[in-house]
């Protein structure tokens, strides 16, 4: 692996895990507070810690890890070395994001930004928190442009050729990211910053939430797609098999570009001010964005089965025992996949309007995203780390570190079982998300919830131990014996059909994406700017 590229990647990965550690400390503490097991000293607030936890884990850990991972794959698959300009842009992006993170973290720790990771108005933070967010977003854009620059150069110098699957997927992920972050950038620059500096007195809350969710839902796919890259491209190689179909993999990523953005209203189904018709339309589109995940599930099963059969497996699930269960590079992402089945089913429940009325703003939703991003995605990122760090530093994963990796994965799953299981269950009993410890004046319902909150805290403690082991594993990887570690990139199965050129015509797919965004958002946003839909959606006739 190119040494200069390796430094860029390593900086991102180490920064990501530093954020994970800090976010993990905040997470376990707020979990213990919520469970009524501790009280915070020195005037530290529950919401302050909850904000630090959400921002550092959901926004910072993910973004740094993803950009580092995508850069590594581009370096590997587009000729073994990044272009100098592209690498420089990666460093500029990294520095801006790091400065933004440092400012944001300080402001949160000073209790000047206890607005949670969604920073909904009318909760108001110090303007410097929003400036810090803007720096992170702008930094990620520069990194994204660096990737596009490298990719375009490759396409120009390889006329008529399909780009390598990893690089294609990385570019698709970043295109989605660049389009969706425009929403949050407008919210931050034109609404939150002027309002928090006091330049304007009021803020259009509904519009700000809408701009946030225009970004917020594709954000979850920005987390997911790099995990999918690992599942599609890396895992087949790790198990010794082949990628089932290049065309199917590319199609699923293009469908994510098309459908992942015009769906933000499914986070706002319970909000007045958006008429029922537009909510309905965006729920239909949400059901469309489930399709590429179902295609992914199909493709993964196919890869596993093809490999198993090539080894002589018989029957429907005979392939199961041929998978490399003792290899953490496979085991951690596989547990992520397995858990994504109930996690995704939970998402489909959330997206169904009537059921959303039951679960919205309850701990069920917190349970949902701890299975999706904090398990399926996080475990996959951990699995990647076990080969990525050795591959870029010229070291090897030892047997004992592999074993610790498996222990860490198992602990993560057990901790999440308690935490997310309790969240889902007590959410159905009505326990709200995002509240500090309270018995609501000893209300019988709230008393019933408490044992579940304690189970959540116990799960949180197990997860914290797993975070510490992960950090120790990373230190171990950095000091591992010198040697060569493979950067696993799978080959496509010989039986796969040829990939149609349409699947690399970016303009077509981005065009469809823009049309859908315009259709799904123009009228509702005009309504919001023009004073809103009169009455609540239930009273609207269309
Ligand atoms: Fe979600 C809320 C709907 C996926 C994250 N979601 C959230 C929030 C977050 C989040 C963070 O419609 C909270 C936001 C907040 O703070 O308010 N979500 C969905 C839907 C999907 C979905 C329809 N979410 C995700 C992913 C996330 C994520 C992915 C992070 C990475 N979500 C919602 C809705 C809300 C919501 C509403 C708002 C709730 C409210 O009221 O506030 C879909 O994309 C899910 C599709 C997934 C599948 C599963 C496919 C399975 C695969 C694995 C195959 C396994 C194999 C191994 C091969 C259909 C690919 C098997 C081996 C064996 C041996 C069996």
Residue that is written with structure tokens 């594993």 in the block: 473
> Chain-wide mean pLDDT for the chain?
94
Write out pLDDT tens, residues 411-421.
Answer: 999 999 999 99
Q: Which two tokens stand for residue 421?
A: 């299981």
DSSP letter assigned to residue 537: G
Per-residue pLDDT at 378 exceeds 70: yes
Q: Which two tokens stand for residue 322?
A: 């041929």
* CATH class of segment(s) 3-533: mainly alpha
Pair 217, 263: CB distance under 8 Å: yes
300 lines ligand 1 (CB under 6 A): yes
Confidence tier at 540 by pLDDT (50, 70, 90): very low
372 lines ligand 1 (CB under 6 A): yes
HEC assignment per residue over 342-376: HHHHHHHHHHCHHHHHHHCCEHHHHHHHHHHHHHH
DSSP letter assigned to residue 483: -
Per-residue pLDDT at 151 exceeds 70: yes
Confidence tier at 536 by pLDDT (50, 70, 90): very low
Q: Which two tokens stand for residue 175?
A: 């295109």
Ligand 1 pocket: which of 271, 282, 369 to mutate (most atoms within 8 A of CB): 369
C-alpha span between 524 and 532 (Å, rounded): 8
**CA 160 / ligand 1 centre spacing (Å):** 36
* Rounded mean pLDDT, 520-537: 76
Per-residue pLDDT at 541 exceeds 70: no
Confidence tier at 255 by pLDDT (50, 70, 90): very high
* Rounded mean pLDDT, 169-190: 97
176 lines ligand 1 (CB under 6 A): no
**CA 23 / ligand 1 centre spacing (Å):** 22
264 lines ligand 1 (CB under 6 A): no
Instruction: Give me the helices (H) in 260-398, please.
Output: 276-310, 328-351, 353-359, 363-371, 378-393
* Rounded mean pLDDT, 220-224: 97
Pair 3, 87: CB distance under 8 Å: no
Q: In 470-504, which positions are buried (b, 16+ CB within 10 angstroms) versus exposed (e)? A: bbebbebbeebeeeebebbbbebbeebeebeeebb
The CA R_g of the chain, rounded to the nearest whole Å, is: 23
**CA 220 / ligand 1 centre spacing (Å):** 8
**pLDDT score for 256:** 96
Residue from 370, 395, 424, 453 carrying the catalytic annotation: 370
C-alpha span between 281 and 265 (Å, rounded): 9
Per-residue pLDDT at 538 exceeds 50: no
C-alpha span between 198 and 201 (Å, rounded): 6
**pLDDT score for 315:** 87
**pLDDT score for 61:** 98
Domain boundaries, the chain: 3-533
**CA 41 / ligand 1 centre spacing (Å):** 36
215 lines ligand 1 (CB under 6 A): no
> Does the bond joining 472 to the residue before it have cis omega, within 30 degrees of 0?
no
For residue 269, the ligand 1 atom closest to its alpha carbon is 41
Residue from 217, 250, 395, 424 carrying the catalytic annotation: 217
- Please state the ipTM of this predicted complex: 0.97
Write out pLDDT tens, residues 481-506.
Answer: 999 999 999 999 888 889 999 999 99
* Rounded mean pLDDT, 517-527: 92
Is 370 a catalytic site residue? yes
**CA 286 / ligand 1 centre spacing (Å):** 11
Per-residue pLDDT at 51 exceeds 80: yes
Distances in Å between the Cα of 467 and the Cα atoms of 9, 371, 471 are 21, 16, 6
Per-residue pLDDT at 246 exceeds 50: yes
CB atoms within 10 A of CB 510: 17
Is 395 a catalytic site residue? no
């Amino acid at each position: 692996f190119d040494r200069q590229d390796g430094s860029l990647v390593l900086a991102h990965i180490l920064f990501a895990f530093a954020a994970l550690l800090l976010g993990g400390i905040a997470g376990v503490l707020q979990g213990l507070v919520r469970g009524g097991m501790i009280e915070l000293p020195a005037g530290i607030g529950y919401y302050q810690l909850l904000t630090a936890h959400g921002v550092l884990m959901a926004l910072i850990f993910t973004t740094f890890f993803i950009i580092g991972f995508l850069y590594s794959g581009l370096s590997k698959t587009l000729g073994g070395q990044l272009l100098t300009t592209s690498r420089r842009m990666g460093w500029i992006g990294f520095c801006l994001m790091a400065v933004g993170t440092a400012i944001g973290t300080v402001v949160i720790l000073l209790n000047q930004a206890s607005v949670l990771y969604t920073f909904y108005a009318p909760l108001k933070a110090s303007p410097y928190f929003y400036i810090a967010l803007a720096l992170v977003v702008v930094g990620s854009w520069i990194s994204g442009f660096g990737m596009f620059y490298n990719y375009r150069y490759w396409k120009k110098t390889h006329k008529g050729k399909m780009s390598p699957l990893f690089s294609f997927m990385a570019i698709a992920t970043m295109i989605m990211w660049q389009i969706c972050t425009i929403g949050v950038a407008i919210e931050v620059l034109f609404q939150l910053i002027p309002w928090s500096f006091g330049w304007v007195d009021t803020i259009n809350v509904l519009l700000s939430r809408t701009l946030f969710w225009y970004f917020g839902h594709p954000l979850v796919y920005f987390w997911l797609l790099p995990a999918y890259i690992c599942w599609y491209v890396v895992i087949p190689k790790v198990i010794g098999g082949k990628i089932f179909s290049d065309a199917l993999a590319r199609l699923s990523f293009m469908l994510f570009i098309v459908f992942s953005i015009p769906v933000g209203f499914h986070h706002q189904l319970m909000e007045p001010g958006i008429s029922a018709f537009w909510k309905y339309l965006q729920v239909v589109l949400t059901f469309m964005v489930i399709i590429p995940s179902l295609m992914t599930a199909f493709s993964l099963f196919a890869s596993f089965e093809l490999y198993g059969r090539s080894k002589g497996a018989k029957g429907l699930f005979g392939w199961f025992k041929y998978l490399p269960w003792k290899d953490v590079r496979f085991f951690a992402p596989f547990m992520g996949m397995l858990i994504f089945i109930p996690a995704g089913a939970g998402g489909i429940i959330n997206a169904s309007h009537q059921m959303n009325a039951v679960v919205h703003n309850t701990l069920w939703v917190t349970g949902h995203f701890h299975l999706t991003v904090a398990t399926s995605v996080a475990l996959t990122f951990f699995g990647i780390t076990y080969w990525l760090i050795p591959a870029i530093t010229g070291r090897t994963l030892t047997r004992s570190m592999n074993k610790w990796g498996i222990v860490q994965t198992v602990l993560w799953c057990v901790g999440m079982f308690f935490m997310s299981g309790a969240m889902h269950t007590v959410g159905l009993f009505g326990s709200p998300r995002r509240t500090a410890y309270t018995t609501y004046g000893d209300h019988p319902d709230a008393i019933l919830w408490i044992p579940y909150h304690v189970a959540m805290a116990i799960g949180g403690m197990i997860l914290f131990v797993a975070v510490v082991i992960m950090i120790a594993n990373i230190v171990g990887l950095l000091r591992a014996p010198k040697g060569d570690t493979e950067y696993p990139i799978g080959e496509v199965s010989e039986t796969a059909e040829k990939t149609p050129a349409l699947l690399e015509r970016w303009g077509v797919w981005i065009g469809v994406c823009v049309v859908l965004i315009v259709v799904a958002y123009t009228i509702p946003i005009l309504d919001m700017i023009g004073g809103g839909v009169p009455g609540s959606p239930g009273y609207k006739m269309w």
